[in-house]
Amino acid sequence: MSFITVDQEKCNQCGICVAECPMGIIRMDSKEDYPSPTPDFKDVCLECGHCVTVCPTVALSLDWLNPEDCLPIKHELAVTPEQAEQFLRGRRSIRVFKDKMVPRTILEKLLEIACSAPSAKNQQPWHWIVVQEPAEVRRLAGMVIDWMRTVIQNNPEAAETMGFTRAVAGWDEGYDRICWGASHVIVAHADKNWGFGAEDCTLAPIQFT
């Protein structure tokens, strides 16, 4: 199996795929050649798919990824540097939520966007737990409070430093400092045997927060 398929009628032999490959397992021995895999391609490939996505003539495919599988980039929607700065600097932590349910279609769209996040070796290991009932969200927040009470009892100094005492006191007064009264909670998790699970599951929710 070649692993790489190149449409020679489309390929302009620009070498971008070769330059982009982080593992250096795509080669062109001369400008007259077409891209081809190195002998260790199967064992070394990270499956990042960048070689397919960066090809300007959509000439390159992998045995598991075709150009039509990649979302098109709409260059007319590209943000300016000023817009990007405004977007990044304008980020705020939300601590007040409306007493309103989010439609399931929107939740599904958020997860779809989150799945485009980067992940180690492009494994996309995340699984999602979507808590849709506000009562269940509050029950989960209460479990966190119960854990904080245990920390306060066993290590009061650390609990005070981390603000647990104030959070528990607020809860007892009817104020939720855990989920802040949100109607829904989305949790990302991965197999415990995947060494990059914590990093990957941190990156994915950032896509829609």
Going from N- to C-terminal start, the domains of the chain cover: 4-69, 79-132+184-206, 134-172
pLDDT band, very low/low/confident/very high, at 5 (cuts 50, 70, 90): very high
CATH class of 4-69: alpha beta
For 196, the token pair is 């990059």
Look at residue 130 and tell me whether its pLDDT is greater than 90.
yes
Q: Check: pTM over 0.85? Answer yes or no.
A: no
pLDDT score for 1 = 53
Residue type, 129: I
- DSSP label of 65: B
pLDDT score for 31 = 80
Domain 79-132+184-206 bears CATH identifier 3.40.190.150: no
**33 to 6, 7, 95, 209: CA distances (angstroms):** 11, 13, 57, 45
